[in-house]
Amino acid sequence: MHSNNFVIAVKHQGRVLREHVDLVTLPFGAEYSLYLKNLNSVRAMATVTIDGQSVTDGCKLIIPANDSIELERFIKGGNLHSGNRLKFIERNAAVEQHRGIGAEDGLVRVEFWREQPAPVWTSVHHYYDTWHPNRPPYFPHPYKLGGNITYGSNCHSSIAHDSGFRSFNSTGGETLRSASCNFMQQSIGNAQAGVGQNATPTNDAGITVGGSHSSQSFSSSLGFPVEAASTVLTLRLRGEVAGKPVTQPVVVNQNVSCGTCGLSSRSSAQFCSRCGAGLIRY
């Protein structure tokens, strides 16, 4: 999914999962990661919310210009060195009875802010009124902001200056940059996500919980002024299609088999070219 030069995707075992509008299909019990890309020419900050809860401990991720990050774990309690992976499970009757049903269950929400360009300062020469010697001299402010920005005491009231985190690999070299409190991501290895499923799933509703251990680490980094307007992208995770549990995640390059005539079609096809049946199941 993309908007305003921002991209988000769900990945499983390193493969991007296919989206249909805002739906992403993967098995219950699968661990996944979130891929965030900034296609703008300036840096960006992002917050990640899953099931209505912050995944990044209330902090922001920093994404360099024309770069991307991949978030594979929860950041909790200020632990920047390790944590639990993101794992999608069924919201079955036992889960619903214990934790209840949330209005945002199954939703992945990412909010982006672009870096605010630095203001252009231009010099204004002092002016002295020599035509009216009895009037006091007039000295305007020596500097003014260029463009359409008006200088004033409240001109920076909407700008958030946050700290952030940078990322490094196991050899000490800097890798992906992510996060701001801000976070910049330090990615140390990617273990394959385990896939499983409940024996008797009852619906496609699922929630994200802590999975296996992840050594993905983060470091604090200085923030920067951002624009007041943000871009929000939202995906919905589901683990069941047409009343049947999903056994394999649906990836972008996976062919689609027609359930009516059996013809295999490209992953982007919506209808079977042989019999005309719809290939996307709801």
Instruction: Judge whether 275 and 263 are in contact, CB under 8 Å.
Output: yes
- 100: three-class secondary structure by DSSP: coil
From CA 242, how far away is CA 43, in angstroms rounded? 41
* Per-residue pLDDT, 99: 92
From CA 72, how far away is CA 100, in angstroms rounded? 25
Count CB neighbours of 20 within 10 A: 13
* Residue 49 β-bridge partners: 54, 109
pLDDT tens column, 130-163: 555 555 554 444 444 333 323 333 333 233 334 4
From CA 224, how far away is CA 161, in angstroms rounded? 5
| Nearest partner of 66 among 30, 39, 33, 95, judged by Cα | 39
- 185: three-class secondary structure by DSSP: strand
Structure tokens at 229: 């307007």
Q: Burial, 104: exposed, middle or buried (Cβ in 10 Å; 0-12, 13-18, 19+)?
A: middle
In the predicted model, residues of the chain with pLDDT beneath 50 are 138-163, 165-180, 187-202, 282
From CA 51, how far away is CA 70, in angstroms rounded? 19
φ/ψ (deg, to 5) at 163? -90, 170
Instruction: Judge whether 187 and 172 are in contact, CB under 8 Å.
Output: no
Torsion of CA 88, 91, 96, 101, to 10 degrees: 80
* Per-residue pLDDT, 87: 97
Strands (E), 57-97: 61-63, 67-71, 83-90
CA geometry: angle 143, 146, 148, nearest 5 deg: 130
From CA 168, how far away is CA 186, in angstroms rounded? 4
* Per-residue pLDDT, 96: 92
Structure tokens at 98: 């214990």
* Per-residue pLDDT, 181: 57
